[in-house]
A and B are shown apart, each in its own frame.
Chain A
Amino acid sequence: MEQIFSLLNVYLPIADVTVNLLAIVMVGIVTGLLAGMFGLGGGLIIVPVLTFLGIDYSIASASSTNQMTASSLSGYLAYARRKRVDYKLGLIMLLGGLIGSTMGIRLFHYLTDVGMLDFVVALCFAAVLGSIGLCTFVDAIIIMYCKLKHLDKPKIKRFNWAKKLKMPLRLTFSSCHEDVSIISLVFVGFIGGIFVSIMGIGGSLIMIPMMVYILSVSDAFTAGTTHFQIIFTSILSTLLHSYSCHHLDIVLSSILMVCTALGAQIGVRLTSEFHPDNFRILLALLVLMLCAKVLFGVMATPTDIFTLEMLSGAK
Chain B
Amino acid sequence: MNLRKTIYQLILNLLWVQSSFANYMIADISAHTLIKGVDFTGREISISGVSDSNSNLIAVIKGPDQDYNVWRKKKIGGIWSKHNPHLFKNIPSYFFVTSSYDVKKSIPDMLAYSLGVESHKPFLPSIKKDNKSFYLELIKIKQKANLYPASISTIEKVGKQIFRFKAYIPCSASIGKYTVDIYKVNGNVIKDTIQLQFNIDNIGFDRAITVFSNRHPLEYGVLAVIIALITGSLVGFLFRKDR
Q: Which residues of A pack against B, CB within 8 Å? A: 9-11, 13-14, 16, 18, 66-67, 69-74, 76-78, 81, 115-116, 118-119, 123, 231, 235, 238-244, 246, 248, 250-251, 253-254, 257-258, 261-262, 264-265, 268, 298-302, 304-311, 313-315
Contacts and interface: CB of A to CB of B under 8 A. Distances in A.
Interface stretch (B20-28, B73-81, B106-114, B118-126): B73-81
Interface string B56-94: 000000000111111111010011111101010110010
- Nearest 10 pairs of A and B residues by beta carbon: A73-B232, A242-B221, A77-B236, A69-B228, A314-B67, A70-B232, A115-B82, A306-B137, A261-B235, A74-B236
A73 B37 contact: no
A11 B38 contact: yes
Given A77-B240, A306-B72, A67 B235 contact: no
B222 interface: yes
A309 B68 contact: yes
Given A70-B229, A74-B239, A309-B68, 17 more contacts: A10-B38, A13-B209, A13-B213, A14-B213, A67-B228, A77-B237, A231-B232, A235-B228, A238-B225, A257-B227, A261-B235, A301-B80, A305-B73, A306-B140, A307-B82, A308-B138, A311-B67
Interface residues of B, number: 64
Contacts of A243: 217-218, 221
B146 interface: no
Nearest to B65: A314
Contacts of B235: 70, 74, 261-262, 264-265
B231 A248 contact: no
B228 to A, nearest CB: 4
Contacts of B37: 11
Contacts of A302: 73, 80
A257 B72 CA distance: 37
Max chain A C-beta neighbours (<10 A), residue from B81, B171, B174, B229: B81
Interface string B186-222: 0000000000000000100011011001100110111
B80 A298 contact: yes
A250 B141 contact: no
20 contacts: A9-B38, A18-B41, A18-B171, A66-B225, A69-B229, A116-B82, A123-B79, A242-B220, A242-B221, A246-B213, A250-B213, A250-B220, A304-B73, A306-B72, A307-B82, A308-B68, A308-B141, A310-B68, A310-B93, A314-B65
B224 A238 contact: yes
Interface of B: 36-41, 65-73, 75, 78-83, 85, 87, 89-90, 93, 134, 137-138, 140-142, 171, 174-175, 202, 206-207, 209-210, 213-214, 217-218, 220-225, 227-229, 231-233, 235-237, 239-242
- Label chain A's interface by main secondary structure: helix
Contact of A115 (B69, B209, B221, B231): B69
B210 A14 contact: yes
Contacts of A73: 228-229, 232-233, 236
Nearest to B221: A242
Nearest to A251: B209
Given A69-B228, A307-B73, A311-B69, A239 B79 contact: no
A240 B237 CA distance: 28
B202 A238 contact: no
Nearest to B229: A73
Nearest to A67: B228
B195 to A, nearest CB: 22
A313 B82 contact: no
Given A119-B82, A309-B71, A311-B69, A250 B217 contact: no
Contacts of A258: 231
A19 B80 CA distance: 27
A314 B66 contact: yes
A235 B225 contact: yes
A78 B221 contact: no
B218 A242 contact: yes
Given A242-B213, A261-B235, A299-B79, A11 B206 contact: yes
Contacts of B142: 308
Given A73-B229, A77-B233, A243-B217, A306 B67 contact: no
Contacts of B221: 238-243, 248
A70 B228 contact: yes
Contacts of B85: 115, 309
